[in-house]
Structure 1
Amino acid sequence: MTTLIRGGTVVSTTGRTKADVLIDGERIVALVAPGDTSLGADLAGSAEVVIEAEGKYVIPGGVDGHTHMEMPFGGTQASDTFETGTRAAAWGGTTTIVDFVVQKTGERVQDSLATWHDKAAGDCAIDYGFHQILGGVDEDSLKAMDELVGEGITSFKLFMAYPGVFYSDDGQILRAMQRASDNGSLIMMHAENGTAIDVLVAQALARGETDPIDHGRTRPWETEEEATHRAIMLARIAGAPLYIVHMSAKQAVATLAAARGEGLNVFGETCPQYLYLSLEEQLGAPGFEGAKWVCSTPLRSRAEGHQDEIWRHLRTGDLSVVSTDHCPFCMKEQKELGLGDFSKIPNGIGSVEHRLDLLYQGVVDGKISLERWVELCSTTPARMFGLYGRKGVIAPGADADVVVYDPHGHTSIGVGKTHHMNMDYSAWEGFEIEGKVDTVLSRGSVVISDGDYHGTKGHGKFLRRELCQNLI
């Protein structure tokens, strides 16, 4: 089938241009400037499907490099399945996710990967890839890193937090980084000082401080900044590239920026919650309401200026990517596991449906440019995770993952409005966006248009990823 997206403004990382986009099957085959007749005088007449995009932006489909569908955590599991989560992603203009395979201590890495392939295969509405969490670093898992790189799993996540669950000590981290330096893979790091946090949590509970806001208070910025510095130093010793996930503290990002200023291959990711939400307003909501926003790293104080600084670092390029860390839990029977003890609240927020909209509001508010919006949400994550060329760009030969975005539209976020995630509440209830996802194509197939879902379960394909394309 041939499809023509006509009359829109194509936005890339370097600018915007008026052009029609011609799609043949699953691939983009041409960008045609107004008045260009080299492909024939009547493209619209010859195309089988014509999508009108006059007055709208045409951008590459969003790439969310950090999601957790069906992830086991805290005695339960993330409420979105690969089916429901990828469908919600499509509603929000995200056409690719990279999810995390979870290896528990004592489990073979290859067995955990097989489990995640079984979970996702035949269920995804959009294309997907995998990162591998290493829950235990030993000789077997180090050998498995080499094997997985050959299978298109080219990034590995380690945790400096959650002792007894995912935690790796400095020696284990160094060994994994040395292996990554050898095989070219990317180390992703959850940078919080987990052993110190556990002490602070125990002390808070002993004092009777059990509310959701105490989750944030027991994970102070110092625990993120210290771990960020330590991770960078270990990566420097190993000569390995490093990607620090869900950065929320301005001090930690300043440490990252200093390392980047020295030319190190270190990169930072943040999430919409750290741009808009805060410890005082959300975690400090009355009663148990703050549990809705419990995540790690935690929301930071607005009075201390973290949110403004995170926006600034997005503008300067010190933060490279905005992902969601989508790990949703319902209030009933999940978040409520932590009633009376904040340490038992499952950590996670659902945002996979709203990332493009929330970041576009940053364009409207003058915090980032239109081009930077595309770069943060699509092009750079595609490059970071070895997908660029197929994903993250409107160009001949690329997969026809395309979003038509209407800057004159309006999006009201909340349950019963724009909310298709498998959750009984929205962390973004009441947010109003001056823009709207109009039409979404995944590999040439229209999955969202005219306010309706047209996608199908199983349309999404597994993506074998190349090595990171962002390294110096």
Structure 2
Amino acid sequence: MHHGPTDYRRKIVNADTSVFADVYCEDGIIHEVGNDLSVPDGTTVIDAAGKLVMPGGIDPHTHMQLPFMGTVASEDFYTGTAAGLAGGTTMIIDFVIPNPQQPLMEAYQTWREWASRSVADYTFHVAVTWWDDSVYEDMGTLVNEYGVNSFKHFMAYKNAIMAPDETLVNSFSRCLELGAMPTVHAENGELVYHLQRKLIEAGFTGPEAHPLSRPSQVEGEAANRAIRIAQSIGVPLYLVHVSCEEAVNEIARARHEGQRVYGEVLAGHLELDDSVYQSKDWATAAAHVMSPPFRPKGHQEVLWKALQGGTLQTTATDHCCFCEEQKAAGKDDFSKIPNGTAGIEDRMMILWDSGVNKGRLTENEFVAVASANTAKIFNIYPRKGCIAKGADADIVIWDANKEHTISAKTHHQNIDFNIFEGRTVKGSVDTTISQGKVVFADGQLTVTEGAGRYIERPAFPTVYEAVKKYNEQHQPVAVER
């Protein structure tokens, strides 16, 4: 094959390989990938000369319109998915979070209604925040009838949505029966609560106390506990927003032992450190309050290496927006500052600039951690996460040379602050295509409210059946004594 400059003009980048070809889409599906395709007259042609054609990003961790800590996230499903498209993200996995004692199905229907305004495809993890027989039943309904294959467990937020060990054991066991993936927010909620009280009693009420109340060992302990519970039950496990060396080490150990454990890292945790909480401006420090917090210098490099080395597989944002007036609820008590930062629009640009441009990731590894791995882990690959015949036509045309300066003044996210404010990245979105339609081009969004579809994710029968079979064959035998 002749590798002249003309070949570069249509480079398709997937997680496994890059090829020179054209892509033909029809009815929201990729119909053909190849050279010299014959297409009907009148077909819209997008010239991707000198650019890269990649599967749209998938953000596996967002919270649009989340009712949390006495307020509601400022970003709804309409504005949030639109901002995602402007950043090359064509699908989100959001979270249904029932209140304790609220039926899971009731919460699920509420979130489905909110999400019906989405402009891009979406799907849900459902949180298990309490336990009784109805939760057991509802989990079965969600997996078998509604295409939910992952359940979230908050090990933090005591006196609110924290799941104690008893709930983890019950829910993880149910996940094994159903072929669903348990996921955890790993922080020891008892320790956090204890440290928050101690700091406030000692007179530390500002945002600078937030990271002190949730040190990295709090996350390491919870990560280890969740991993060991999953190991005992024989179920895979996915850890969201891994932020520190201690948690990375627990995942690495478990994977080394052959345990099926997955880790997600946020763009923010890869790039920012805890100096952000020392800002003289209260609002700026408070704007960075999220959990787990940004970590001391050193942890970021550990996270990058874990992403490069395969200990962590996915990248997300935990996009959960609260504006200055909302954050002000914690003016006199840092533990009352609503937790959350934004990033759905910035994730892929940050990842490209700090990953590919610095030689940490190849273009194929970029696609893996931005899109394909999430699709594989949550069982929607190859419908999502790759450019191939039969896949959904969710495509981003990426300009590796385009510079973009990130700012709250120009972003599409519905929040008055950007944690990457002023950062100029090299490598940015040229065009975003969702369901075969151009939704972002020339810096302009062209979106349709409600165009986003709910994507069902089938359960994982094969691995689970094997584990169940193994467990049945190795039942203990009662010993006569």
The TM-score with structure 2 as length reference comes to: 0.92
Q: Is the 8 A contact 1:189 1:244 kept in 2?
A: yes
User: Please, which of 317, 339, 344 is the counterpart of residue 347 of structure 1?
Assistant: 339
**Percent sequence identity over matched residues?**
38
Q: Is the 8 A contact 1:384 1:469 kept in 2?
A: no
Q: Is the 8 A contact 1:28 1:396 kept in 2?
A: yes
Question: In structure 1, what is the equivalent of residue 81 of structure 2?
Answer: 86
Alignment of 1:60-459 (within 5 A): 60-121=55-116, 123-150=117-144, 151-280=146-275, 282-288=276-282, 289-302=284-297, 305-331=298-324, 333-361=325-353, 362-417=355-410, 419-459=411-451
Q: Is the 8 A contact 2:210 2:289 kept in 1?
A: yes
CA distance in structure 2 between the aligned counterparts of 1:46 and 1:214, rounded to whole angstroms:
64
Q: Is the 8 A contact 1:58 1:403 kept in 2?
A: yes
CA distance in structure 2 between the aligned counterparts of 1:374 and 1:261, rounded to whole angstroms:
24
Q: Is the 8 A contact 2:178 2:459 kept in 1?
A: no
> Per-residue deviation at 1:15?
2.2
Deviation per CA, 1:268-300: give whole Å up to 9, x if none. 1110111111102x1221131211111101110
Q: Is the 8 A contact 2:152 2:184 kept in 1?
A: yes
Deviation per CA, 1:180-199: give whole Å up to 9, x if none. 11110000101100001101
> Per-residue deviation at 1:251?
1.3
Q: 1:395 to 1:240 in 2, by over 3 A?
A: same
SS in structure 2 opposite 1:459?
coil
CA distance in structure 2 between the aligned counterparts of 1:469 and 1:432, rounded to whole angstroms:
45
RMSD of aligned C-alpha atoms?
A: 1.5
CA distance in structure 2 between the aligned counterparts of 1:346 and 1:279, rounded to whole angstroms:
18
Q: Is the 8 A contact 2:187 2:219 kept in 1?
A: yes
Deviation per CA, 1:73-111: give whole Å up to 9, x if none. 110011101111011011000001111011111111110
- What runs of 5+ residues in structure 2 fail to find an aligned partner? 1-7, 465-481
Deviation per CA, 1:99-141: give whole Å up to 9, x if none. 10111111111100111111111x1110011110111122110
- What runs of 5+ residues in structure 1 fail to find an aligned partner? 1-5
CA distance in structure 2 between the aligned counterparts of 1:336 and 1:469, rounded to whole angstroms:
47
Question: In structure 2, what is the equivalent of residue 3 of structure 1?
Answer: none
> Per-residue deviation at 1:368?
1.5
Question: In structure 1, what is the equivalent of residue 24 of structure 2?
Answer: 22
CA distance in structure 2 between the aligned counterparts of 1:244 and 1:268, rounded to whole angstroms:
5
CA distance in structure 2 between the aligned counterparts of 1:184 and 1:358, rounded to whole angstroms:
34
User: Please, which of 8, 11, 16 is the counterpart of residue 10 of structure 2?
Assistant: 8
CA distance in structure 1 between the aligned counterparts of 2:122 and 2:461, rounded to whole angstroms:
18
Deviation per CA, 1:327-372: give whole Å up to 9, x if none. 11101x2111111211011100110111111101121111222111
CA distance in structure 2 between the aligned counterparts of 1:134 and 1:274, rounded to whole angstroms:
25
Q: Is the 8 A contact 2:150 2:182 kept in 1?
A: yes
Question: In structure 1, what is the equivalent of residue 479 of structure 2?
Answer: none
Q: 1:383 to 1:181 in 2, by over 3 A?
A: same
CA distance in structure 2 between the aligned counterparts of 1:424 and 1:274, rounded to whole angstroms:
20
Q: 1:91 to 1:208 in 2, by over 3 A?
A: same
CA distance in structure 2 between the aligned counterparts of 1:268 and 1:469, rounded to whole angstroms:
21
Q: 1:421 to 1:144 in 2, by over 3 A?
A: same
1:179 partner amino acid: R
SS in structure 2 opposite 1:372?
helix
Q: Is the 8 A contact 1:388 1:469 kept in 2?
A: no
The TM-score with structure 1 as length reference comes to: 0.94
Equivalent pairs, count: 454
Q: Is the 8 A contact 2:75 2:413 kept in 1?
A: yes
